[in-house]
Chains A and B, each alone.
Chain A
Amino acid sequence: MRHALLILLKRDLLLAFRHPNDLVNPLIFFLIVVSLFPMGLKPDSQFLPMMGSAVIWVAALLASMLSLDNLFRSDMEDGTLEQIGLLPWPLSALVTIKVLVHWLVTGIPIVIMAPLLGMMFNIPPEGIRALMLTLLLGTPVLSLIGAIGVALTVSLRRGGVLVSLLVLPLYIPVLIFGAGSVWDASLGLAIRGPVLFMGAILVLALTLAPLAIAGALRISLE
């Protein structure tokens, strides 16, 4: 079982790094969306630090969601997913690995890029620290919830917009706690509560989402 998970992990990471474009595009998208917002405002706007936390979080949400499209699609098309479904080990554990790979190749880079963008928005250092911490806790949740939406729509020909309809409302709690605590931290307030809450959401998503993803994939594979 552990061996199978390791092989899957290695395979998916290898696949991801063999397509560097797919890897980089969501990050470029993240960068562009974030830098569009200040351009929509006046150059000397004082709202920047206040908006920054929300804008970076929303952009992270969108980047994570858009990059999810590839999570199961190519495996579905070449039949790999069916083979994975036939393995004697629980599908929920196997898909968790796939989600983990997605988080490693998009979530982690987003967390690393965030301080740079935060500085562009004049967010104070305390805020940037909170931004990285909440993104670190929040992006795996985004990957997990998003994977449910992708698994439900992978067998449909046009899943793109549909996934966002399904998934974005479910992202709202993460957005609220994430962006809210960044703003609080930049004001010098304590953010222990919302950060703990985000941790709780992560644990809950980690326990329940794989079951939903596996169930949804079984329906898509029928």
Chain B
Amino acid sequence: MWVWFHKLGSPPYFYRFSTIVLPWLAVLTLILFSVGVVWGLYIAPSDYQQSETSRIMYVHVPASMFSMSIYMVMAMASAVTLIWRIKLADLVASASAPIGAAYTFIALITGSLWGRTMWGNTYWEWSDPRLMSELILFFLYLGYMALNSAYEDRRRAARAAAVLALVGVVNIPIIHYSVEWWTSLHQGSTTRGTQFAATIDPSMRYPLFVMMGAFAMLYAQLLLKYTRCLLLDGERNNAWVKEMVKQHAA
């Protein structure tokens, strides 16, 4: 297992490995998305209280769930970058940031659309702690990407951005609790997402799980693809890249 993991750190090996894995991931993502979308948006029953708008859940819940996890992936890859200086870890972190930002953005948009039916006639509710945390997470992603692209030298950019990602990871729980405290001052706690998920009916739970799987696979696929792009860009002067391009051209 460890040997394989170390091998994966070597750029040519990673490139070959991802070439094999990617088509399978693509098929899996496609299947999961088609099943999840049809099941969630057409077959699953609509909520008796929220009617059809509850179907936004099938996009919103996975997106917001993975927006947090992707930051964790980014932070772990950053720690690996700082400690062991593995080039690939830095690329994984850099590639995760825009995907995570996109997931966060989707979560924000769907959340405010969904919230409109629950909050009344507003798209934005400052007193919802999860919405606030998500917004701040979005800012953190943007800051990370800004710093990462500000450096010309790739290796320094990697390490500077890694420090920022780790600082952010320490801050996320503090931000989360401060936002929660702040919003609880303004009004009683809003509908709890976790309770909602626990009491959710199986007829809605299973399509939700499928959609979660679909979003996870989509992330894995985009991550591999983007990492490959960054890898080729960074290693364009190395022998194995030149050889591969030659083979492709032939």
Contacts and interface: CB of A to CB of B under 8 A. Distances in A.
Interface of A: 145, 148, 152-153, 155-156, 162, 165-166, 168-170, 172-173, 176-177, 180, 184, 194, 197, 201, 204, 208, 212, 215-216, 219-220, 222
A152 B146 CA distance: 12
B166 A180 contact: no
Given A156-B151, A166-B143, A194-B181, 4 more contacts: A148-B164, A152-B163, A170-B168, A180-B185
Interface string B27-47: 000000000000000000000
B16 interface: no
A176 B182 contact: yes
Interface residues of B, number: 27
A194 B168 CA distance: 22
Contacts of A173: 171, 174-175, 178
Contact of A212 (B139, B142, B147, B163): B163
**Interface residue SS majority, chain A:** helix
Nearest to B153: A222
Nearest to A152: B160
B163 A162 contact: no
Nearest to B157: A219
A219 B150 contact: no
Given A168-B139, A173-B178, A176-B178, A219 B160 contact: yes
Contact of B175 (A155, A166, A172): A172
B167 interface: yes
A143 B182 CA distance: 23
A204 B170 CA distance: 10
B178 A219 contact: no
Q: Which residue of A170, A177, A184, A197 has the most chain B CB atoms within 10 A of its CB atom? A: A170
B140 interface: yes
B236 interface: no
Interface in B168-198: 168, 170-171, 174-175, 178-179, 181-182, 185
Contact of B146 (A165, A172, A216, A219): A165
B160 A170 contact: no
B77 to A, nearest CB: 17
Contacts of A212: 163, 166-167
User: Could you say which of B82, B142, B167, B174 has the most chain A C-beta atoms within 10 Å of its C-beta?
Assistant: B167
Contacts of A194: 181
Nearest to B176: A173
A166 B164 contact: yes
Nearest to B82: A215
Nearest to B138: A169
A111 to B, nearest CB: 21
A194 to B, nearest CB: 7
Contacts of A216: 160, 163
Given A169-B139, A176-B179, A220-B160, A153 B167 contact: no
B87 interface: no
Contact of B167 (A148, A201, A220, A222): A148
Contact of A215 (B139, B163, B181): B163
A171 B82 CA distance: 24
B205 interface: no
A201 B171 CA distance: 10
A153 B150 contact: yes
A130 to B, nearest CB: 14
Contact of A162 (B136, B147, B170, B185): B147
